[in-house]
Amino acid sequence: MDVLKFCGCESTDYTNGYHTLKSFEIFQSLREDKFFCDIKLKADDDKIVFGHKIVLMSVSQDFIAMFTNFSEREKDIINIRDVDSTVLKQLVDYMYTGKITISKENVQVLLPAANLLQLDYVQGACAKFLQKQLDRFNCLDIRSFADLHNCLELLTSSEEYIRKNVLDVVESEEFLSLPTEELIKFISGNVLNASEEKVYECVINWVKHELNLRYDSLPKLMEHIRLPLASIEYISTNVVEEPLFKSIPKNYNIIFSGKYYINEAFQFHERKTKQLTIPRTIRNTPRMSGQKVILAFDYNLEAHWYDPTTNLWHLLSENSLMYFDYSADFYHETDHINCFKKKITLIKEHLVVVSKFYEPSITILDLSLKSPTWVTLVDTLVSRNNCGIGVLNDCLYAVGGYGEDGYLNSAEFFNMNNHQGWQMIANMSIEKSNTSVGVLNNLLYVVGGSVINSYDIKTYFKSAECYDPNLNIWTPVAEMSVRRSNIGLGEMDGVLYAVGGVYESNFFKSVEAYKPGSGVWTSIPDMHIPRCNSSNLNQYFLA
């Protein structure tokens, strides 16, 4: 035979994609005919399922441990406790074929059995199956089931469903059947998409559902209702007049606790009305609805929001920030580009702070009042037009801007807790206006901005620096990829987002994200339209 001649040919690896599949099909065929089977698995009902040790070990860590380290390696019959033969056969078939059929009839026994035999794929498939079945009638039971079997993915999904659909869940018979401790878990969390009035009502309804057995639990439950956050009218009409808190013989503890929490709520509203300092407690801390997104408005209140879990922008059909009459406060930069004439931020969870462009005054709207009223804050120590504003530790910061003597690199803050007036802090490294301010890891970040020189030439910045209030020091950080001013800037889950902005006549729809751990700005998907000066009220919670 002639030897073939090659010129520069390198060796090549080839993989038969059907090799493993075909091999396991043969193993399954041998098992069905009980050929070469070296292990018998005995289910709870004493029925036997045959198998090959080497195949079972190739799929399950439980069988690896069983056949290598324990006494079972010398046995040819092994008892599999708490699993019936039907489920055991399904799981062994899966080990040979990679296929499993999950139904509402078998999922409740299949998941714990898969967990027992450490079949992660089957456990995950059961979790996904149950996630699709979640509704207001079964979500509480599914949550308990997931918790019992340590199925974290399913537990997280069921808890998220409950939070988002709490108003429907509390109307179900399943909710009224919750044990006391489970109800406490339900109402004590910081993330719950329901008003405090609704939380109170669902507790009262739960108690009255089996009044004789549950009445003594009322003081413990009241502890977790954030009654000060209910309106004063609701408390006076619905809570004070609740028969359960009236004078009933031998129930002094219930009456006393009810009066205690009612008085606490009245004192909270009285201090708020008088604008007195209110000590923060868990019962006067607003809950969150759960889903955090980045929100950006344009001139006609149309908004887009970015969901970091899906990496997508969406159009928000409705918005709830309708206290503002924006109609006279917006303008068109061009026929196609919309731009804010205000900078907006949020402080102490209910105070909306607004700084108008080209005006040094700062106004505040208190959303916690029944009739929100605008109040003008005392003027800054340095007159500032187009300054950046931001909030850190209940302090309002005014940074840079344009003053009587030109562009500013100075900055000052106003403590909203003591109202002692504005106080100066260390200067930034660059004089600029139209800069954007955000907070990340207890540091104040100032990003972008612009200045105009005496020749009417405008310079834009891509630089950023951060301020440490404990050290009173500014430190430079990484630059953005492009120069821009009038950026929407905000933090979410440890990431700082720079949204839109403008450079010369170019308005951006691009967005950059900064993570301190990486020390660089990275791009995320563009918004649908360009925009600048998007509101700093950009961490928004959606139901």
* Digit-coded pLDDT (tens) for 306-358: 766 667 777 654 333 333 333 333 333 333 333 334 556 666 555 656 665 55
**What residue type is 412 in one-letter code?**
E
Say if residue 474's pLDDT is above 80: yes
Say if residue 478's pLDDT is above 90: yes
Q: What is the pLDDT of residue 535?
A: 52
Q: What is the pLDDT of residue 542?
A: 34
Mean pLDDT of 140-163: 87
The 10s digit of each residue's pLDDT in 246-294 is 755 555 566 667 788 899 999 998 888 877 777 878 888 887 765 555 6
Q: Where are the alpha helices (DSSP H) in 2-138?
A: 19-32, 53-59, 61-69, 85-97, 107-116, 120-133
The 10s digit of each residue's pLDDT in 373-396 is 566 778 889 988 888 888 888 888
Dihedral sign, CA of 16, 18, 21, 26?
negative
Contacts of 532 (CB under 8 A, 6+ apart): 333, 337, 339, 340, 485, 486, 487, 488, 500, 501, 502, 507, 508
Would you place residue 477 in the very low, low, confident or very high pLDDT band (cuts 50, 70, 90)?
Answer: very high
